[in-house]
Chains A and B, each alone.
Chain A
């Protein structure tokens, strides 16, 4: 069964460093998303991406964040100058059509710990 894969599963980084979280969406999917979940809190939308550009982003997704689809298969989230409060589980998702119209498939997440 096709699945969304995320690497690494756990990333520890020093405050102020840059991190790149990687995702391989399901191959025929067209919409890609990043969500995050701070421990014990709800899952929060960060950004959606379609046709090689951001289609929507939340207030959380400020200039510190960027997304890229560098090679047609990977979908990355870059966090510049990480802060302690960026520690969270980050989920990538993809869907064949618009999310909510068809189901979105989520990866297992990358747990980011900023120390």
Chain B
């Protein structure tokens, strides 16, 4: 199993550009999520999905879109990049859609994004 994979590892964007961060998992997990990690702060949830075709907003969804057309893939789209979106982005997946996060979460290696 490759686990959770993310591409690219690094990206530099100019303000106003758009891009898609890719996330895939091969563990047949129903739950997938995107977090951003900023220095000195805990991770913050951007969007999450409890299964194919179902997505919802987390704590900081503005400026980001997601879709979940398959169980395996959960891409994160930046619509019009802003310097405030400079961060490290992590994708995670886990089992379980019972309404409780009772299962271990697996994380990808992260994408380091810089917006100039």
Q: Do A and B bind each other?
A: no
Give residues in A with beta carbon < 8 Å to B: none
Give residues in B with beta carbon < 8 Å to A: none
